[in-house]
Chain A
Amino acid sequence: MVVSLGMLTVFYLIVIGILYTTRRKAATKSFSEYAVGGRAYGPWFVAMSYVNSWWPGSTFIAFFGMAAGAGIFGFYGLAYSTLGVGLMYFLATRAWRWGAAYDLQSQPDLLGKRFDSHAVRVISSVVGVIAVFPWVVLGMQALGELFHVASGGTWSIAVSLVVGIAVIVIRQIWTVNMGMRGLIMTDMFQGVVAYGLSTLIGVIMLTGMGNSPISLSKLATIPEQFLRIPGDGGSYGPLYWFALIFTGVIGALCWPMSFQRIYTASSVRAVKASTTRTMLISGVFYTVLMLVGMAAVTVPEVAADPQGGWFTLLDQFGGTWLTGLAVVTVFAAAMGHIDGSVQVSGLQIANDIVQRPGKPLSDRQLTYIAKGSMAGFMLLATVVAFTTFNMTRLQLLAQISYQLVVQISVPLFLGIFWRGGNKYGAAAGMVFGSLVASIMTFFFPDDIPALGSLTGGIVGLAVNLVVYLVVYAVMGQGEEERERVAQFFEVAQHPTRRLGAAVAEPVLVASGADELRDEDSEL
């Protein structure tokens, strides 16, 4: 107990130390600086920040539990995350140039600009914030479980929950105060601990060194049932695997945290380089974690409690010290995910929901509202985390939220790659798609047997797409709108320099412009 809690304390103090060091270096106080760190970050920082916002602490619990309890099932996460992150590469140039040209701060900001519609901007922002909320609550509750383990089971779940929430709430003081800059700097440290350290431990265990309870050699002999994809026999239909991965792929850029990483990057090069590095970090980490989980299916203690398998294995491997490390890795991942979620939610509430067209708020006002929104968001999450602890329905809300957030993908992807569509179809598609997805997921939380085990989100997506296309087919685009969209796409054809805050028109790079910072600058 002393070792685990001591290691957690040291880790936490280092994070706070990094935040204070970073705060002294923060130069300007513009909203762009607060929201996207002044678009100043190089590929490694963006990559680690993306990985942090991508994998929550529950990766070591829920996803690990899938591999340890159901084998190949866990690998669906590798498939969807690789394909999803890869998508960022293909839309990097357009999305970044639009962001830089129009000083966009968020994903709804881009949608609002693309469709020239405040309603589209608000709807996509509301969907994003609502979808993120249950995951923050679940993350806070997972910290309660974490402190229960860290205390060696001597603290009750209730006490552990109070401590876990208190720790993460205190951490948000700096998230709220410092915005994206503090987040990205700590993401690097948290990421190295969460994903680097766990990968190293996993690789060592897989070699079978020391007293490792597992090894790679055990994988070739695990029972066949662990090699069967869901839908190949059993209760799921053949489309379940497709639905899981497809939702993940298109959802990858729908999560507000993911898309915002494009706008923190210093250049198109930084976005593309960070994408390849995110795939490397994320792919290696997740693959090793899943191999460890699969190799552990024959360990009786893990089979009895697959979701606690990461802690069980490390305890068997290295006793108290490695249990402490296990706790710290999960804590680091959980903290990174919650930080990113709170930050982007506050940002979107201020920038996309509170701010009205024709009445732009000053940088100071936007920053204050974003900070207030983050505080409110965290307060609400704290209350819900306490009141819904042990409620299984919260897990259902999280499932609905995932099926909900992918509804942004129709106007987002079609809007970026196709000049067709209009604001009415975009707004109506998201609304109807979200309603259908929520209702279907409520009645069929996991899958819809009559549809070959498709999920509610896929049905919602189909409705969303049809509405988008039908409305466009019926209403079309006016001449003025066609011209506006053509100009919008024209901006993405040309190199664009980063702008400061509150600049509305695109500015192309002037030859030898000395404002352009080094393309490869890290900061």
Chain B
Amino acid sequence: MREFARSLTPRSIMTGSIVLYAVVLVMVLFPPAYMSVSGMRNPVILGLPFVVFYYIFNAALLGVGLTVLYRIEDLRGELDERRIQEGE
């Protein structure tokens, strides 16, 4: 994981983050997207009607995505002001 995190370029990390946020944004905010799941009961996933699962999934996707981003930034040493300054 550490090697993978360090092999990424800042541009690829930024692009990935923006794409993740944009995907969730579109899925919950774009009228054709949310209207397409309105009223959908099936498939029932984990006991949840699909439209309910859809909104929980989107929230979880963003939460997990940002947690992974945090982990990547942590492994790259980009979160500690002192270490960045010292060039560690």
The smallest C-beta distance from B2 to any residue of chain A, in angstroms, reads 17
Say whether B66 faces chain A, with CB atoms less than 8 Å apart. Answer: yes
Asked if B62 contacts A220 (CB within 8 A), the reply is no
Contacts of B55 in A (CB 8 A): 72, 75, 78-79
A301 within 8 A of B: no
A114-147 contact mask (Cβ, 8 Å, vs B): 1 or 0? 0000000000000000000000000000000000
Question: Contacts A89-B69, A283-B60; is A519 near B82 (CB within 8 Å)?
Answer: yes
Q: Say yes or no: is A167 at the interface (Cβ < 8 Å to chain B).
A: no
Given A245-B28, A519-B81, CB of A219 within 8 Å of CB of B52 = yes
| B79 contacts across to A, CB distance below 8 A | 267-269, 272, 519
Asked whether, in the complex, the Cβ of B52 is within 8 Å of the Cβ of A495, the reply is no
Which of A24-32, A376-384, A403-411, A507-515 contacts its partner? A507-515
A242 with B31, Cβ < 8 A, contacts A86-B66, A227-B51 known:
yes
Size category of the A interface is: 35 or more
Which of B34, B59, B63 lies in contact with A229, CB distance below 8 A? B34
Q: Which of A231-239, A343-351, A430-438 contacts B (4 or more CB under 8 A)?
A: A231-239
Contact indicator B47/A287 (Cβ below 8 Å):
no
Q: Cβ of B19 < 8 Å from any Cβ of A?
A: no
Query: A279 contacts the other chain (Cβ, under 8 Å)?
Result: yes
Contact pick for B80, options A220, A294, A494, A519, CB 8 Å: A519
Question: Scoring A residues 260 to 297 as 1 if CB is less than 8 Å from chain B, else 0, what string do you get?
Answer: 00000001110011011001100100010001001000
Complex alpha-carbon distance, A275 and B70, angstroms: 10
**A86 contacts B41, C-beta separation under 8 Å:** no
For the residues of A in contact with B, the DSSP-based class is helix
- Which of these, A245, A279, A287, A494, contacts B62 with CB under 8 Å? A279
Residue contact A79 to B58, C-beta cutoff 8 Å: yes
A82:B47 contact, CB within 8 angstroms: no
Main secondary structure of the interface of B (DSSP, over half): helix
Report whether B21 and A90 are in contact in the complex, using a CB–CB cutoff of 8 Å. yes
Interface size class of B (residues with CB under 8 A): 35 or more
Q: Which residue of chain A has the shortest Cβ distance to B81 in the bound complex?
A: A495
Query: A241 at the A/B interface (Cβ < 8 Å)?
Result: yes
- Does A83 sit at the interface, judged by CB under 8 A? yes
Chain A residue numbers with a CB within 8 Å of B69 are 89
A72-B55, A220-B44, A227-B39 are contacts. A495–B85 as well, Cβ < 8 Å? yes
Contact B59–A287 (Cβ < 8 Å): yes
Listed from nearest, the 8 A-B pairs whose CB atoms lie closest are A495-B81, A269-B79, A232-B38, A229-B38, A82-B59, A509-B85, A79-B28, A75-B55
Known: A249-B29, A269-B79. 7 other contacts (CB 8 A): A217-B47, A227-B51, A267-B81, A268-B79, A279-B63, A294-B52, A519-B81
Q: Can you give 5 A-B contacts (C-beta < 8 A)? A: A219-B47, A219-B52, A227-B39, A229-B37, A287-B59
Q: Which residues of A contact B (CB under 8 A)?
A: 72, 75, 78-79, 82-83, 86, 89-90, 216-217, 219-220, 222, 224, 227-229, 231-232, 238-239, 241-242, 245-246, 249, 267-269, 272-273, 275-276, 279-280, 283, 287, 291, 294, 494-497, 508-513, 516, 519
Enumerate chain B interface residues (CB-CB to A < 8 A).
Answer: 17, 21, 24-25, 28-31, 34-35, 37-41, 44, 47-49, 51-52, 55-56, 58-60, 62-63, 66-67, 69-70, 73-74, 79-82, 84-86
